[in-house]
Amino acid sequence: MVRVLVIEDDEELAGAIAVGLRRAQMAVDLARDGPAGLDRALVYDYDVIVLDRDLPGLHGDDVCAELVAAGRRGRVLMLTAAATIDDRVEGLGLGADDYLPKPFAFAELVARIAALHRRAQPAIPPLLVRADLALDTARRRACRGGRRLDLGPKEFGVLELLLAAQGRIVSAEELLERVWDEEADPFTTAVKVTISRLRAKLGEPPLIETVAKSGYRIGAGL
């Protein structure tokens, strides 16, 4: 599951980007100005930050510079209405990883975010395998014992994180942060319910272990 922060002051554009990215099975948070976006980016671990260059409160250039100085892992995709070569070079020189001029095709935005995510560290392998379970992260497909699993976006995201953890215990809080977004209630039972549905779809023998007061992991004995 790709977690994205969109820092964009145009409310209509920001909303449209968020809706589209969520349909593309990404978890999306929004910030409407530079200070709010910088605060979120420094607190949460985003894979990709879509950053408008012309922001109120704190210019996008300054936000980018602060993120680079702080050593944040998230890749920065800078958006701007200015489309000259000099503007692009300047934006990339500030530490942005990619640059997309407005207006843009939404399919290109999704493709660039996906490409930046693949470059993020640590990278998740394109194929995750444990015992008879195989998860194709690129095609968003999962199979167990040769049987195709019909997984929803959240179920796929949870299973992807558990498999990528390679036996490490993943807390419910980490799952909520990485697979859901800011709209999720921190006191929700969404993780527990999703784990329950996922177990039912995975079938027998059980693959996901609950570790009391710690979280979940893919069975150590597999």
Task: State the CATH number of the domain containing residue 103.
Answer: 3.40.50.2300
Strands of the sheet containing 48-52, edge to edge, are 26-31, 2-7, 48-52, 75-80, 98-101
Of the listed ranges 64-73, 79-88, 139-148, the one predicted with least confidence = 79-88
- The pLDDT of residue 184: 66
Domain co-membership, 68 together with 145: no
Domain co-membership, 9 together with 52: yes
The CATH number of residue 156's host domain is 1.10.10.10
Q: Are 105 and 70 in contact (CB under 8 A)?
A: no
Helices 60-70, 85-93: axis angle to 10 degrees equals 30
Domain boundary among 79, 103, 119: 119
- Tokens at residue 161, please? 């994180």
Domain co-membership, 20 together with 105: yes
pLDDT mean across residues, the chain: 86
Domain co-membership, 191 together with 100: no
Q: How confident is the model at residue 102 (pLDDT cuts 50, 70, 90)?
A: confident
Q: Is the pLDDT of residue 12 over 90?
A: yes
Q: Is the pLDDT of residue 41 over 90?
A: yes
Domain that holds residue 131: 127-218
- The pLDDT of residue 37: 95
Closest to 116 measured CA to CA, from 14, 9, 21, 13: 21
* Residues facing residue 5 across a β-bridge: 29, 49
> Cβ–Cβ contacts within 10 Å for residue 104, how many?
12
- The pLDDT of residue 200: 94
The tens digit of pLDDT for each residue in 69-85 reads: 888 878 999 988 765 66
Domain co-membership, 34 together with 51: yes
- Could you give the number of structural domains in the chain? 2
Q: What is the C-alpha to C-alpha distance for residues 120 and 3, in angstroms, rounded to an integer?
A: 12
Q: What is the pTM of this model?
A: 0.65
Query: Strand pairing of 98-101 and 127-130?
Result: unpaired
User: Which residue is associated with the tokens 């607190």?
Assistant: 43
Domain co-membership, 90 together with 59: yes
Q: What is the C-alpha to C-alpha distance for residues 118 and 52, in angstroms, rounded to an integer?
A: 22
Q: How confident is the model at residue 183 (pLDDT cuts 50, 70, 90)?
A: low
Assign 68 to helix, strand or coil. Answer: helix
Q: Where are the alpha helices (DSSP H) in 59-150?
A: 60-70, 85-93, 106-119
Q: Percentage of residues in the chain with pLDDT exceeding 90?
A: 44
Q: Are 158 and 175 in contact (CB under 8 A)?
A: yes
Of the listed ranges 41-45, 118-122, 207-211, the one predicted with least confidence = 118-122
Domain co-membership, 110 together with 143: no
